[in-house]
Amino acid sequence: MEGNMEGSIVRVTVPAGAEDGYEVRIGSGLLARIPAEVAVLLPGARPFVVTDANLREAGHLAAMAGEAFEDVYSIDPPGETSKTIETVEKIIDAMEQKRFGRDTVVLALGGGTVGDVAGFAAAIYKRGVPCVQIPTTTVAQADSAIGGKTGVDSRLSKNAYGAFHNPVRVYVDCATLKTLSERDYRAGLVESVKHGMIMDAEYFEYIESHMDGILARDDAALLHLAEKNCAIKGHVVAEDPKEQGLRRILNYGHTIGHAVESLSGYALLHGEAVAIGIVGACRIGEALGTGTGETTSRARTVLEKLGMPEAIEGISKEPILDTMRRDKKSVGGQARFVLVRDIGETDPAGGGYAVEVPATVIEETLSELGAG
């Protein structure tokens, strides 16, 4: 992965295996540049914008283009409950009704739900059209907009439908993070914590020591987080574009996290659920003798400073176990876990990517986390 600074913009190229790589542009106040730059990137392409009501209210669409884009679809209601195959069908219907063809470029302006849904629609529309990801939340800028994963949830599990469809470009405008609610902003930072825990102890230490600036949304802190997240995520997906090995470490905290998120009816935000999952993974590592109490303590301290929940409330163990059996890392119907030995170092057992854990340890961990 290569990167360089041009003016106030950091440009990072993410290789994509045998496919062409793509560029991530990181900076503050990038939205207004996008229409002209996309026109140069894809001459003659017809832009179709997918966003949601929250983004319209925040003014991001107006900042990006004013009234320049005629074709805009707003996901309603905003959020995870609209991350469904029905929403994808509505987007495709809207493009068909306006006679969009293979010359379409989908612009995904929003958070993780917008990026996943719009990216999936682009992946399957007319057998695939280009997509530009424009993430506007902490979780999307840290994780979901980079790497080409797209998809939607089924009634039973997260991301049951999906496809790998790399964006042709990603714009990370850190200024958009200043419009987020405090809860959304803090929850999204859990993905940054995850990156430090699985791969970069120095980055984790930066988060520990710069928490005040991060929570204050200091410009320098936001830019540093974006650059480090892009570097870590970009390295991992370049090494393993289709999630056959190394890329599985990005699911750290997500085995329990995805289960409690969906079973909460999405009352828990993604980052809040993953925070619980990270603590659970730390406790499992301790129980297996591969993790340490110090790692658990440092993780919990950072997550507490972010205001993340520490316990599972109102959900019993059996539905969690059943949902985890449908997790994408499961083998033979048994959940597998990403574990860390120390901050920045995954557990080498099973490559650290999909560790088999005895059922008794999982059940004891869920009880410790508060599951009934």
Q: Which residues are catalytic?
A: 127, 149, 191, 233, 243, 247, 251, 254, 258, 270
Q: Tokens 């949601």 — which residue?
A: 52
Structure tokens of 164? 């790998």
Round to whole Å and give the CA distance between 112 and 130.
18
Round to whole Å and give the CA distance between 317 and 323.
10
Structure tokens of 183? 């809860």
Round to whole Å and give the CA distance between 171 and 41.
13
Which residue type occupies 266?
Answer: Y
Q: Tokens 């695939």 — which residue?
A: 128
Q: How many Cβ atoms sit within 10 Å of the Cβ of residue 25? A: 19
Round to whole Å and give the CA distance between 45 and 31.
18
Half-sphere exposure of 248 (CA within 13 A, CB side): 22
Round to whole Å and give the CA distance between 370 and 372.
6
Round to whole Å and give the CA distance between 272 and 266.
10
Count how many residues are written for the chain.
372
Structure tokens of 194? 């995850």
Residues 181, 185, 188: CA angle, nearest 5 degrees: 140
Alpha helices (H) in 171-269, listed in sequence order: 182-188, 190-199, 201-209, 211-215, 219-239, 254-263
Round to whole Å and give the CA distance between 155 and 19.
33
- Is the Cα dihedral 347, 350, 355, 359 positive or negative? negative
Round to whole Å and give the CA distance between 186 and 21.
31
Strand partners, 106: 48, 131
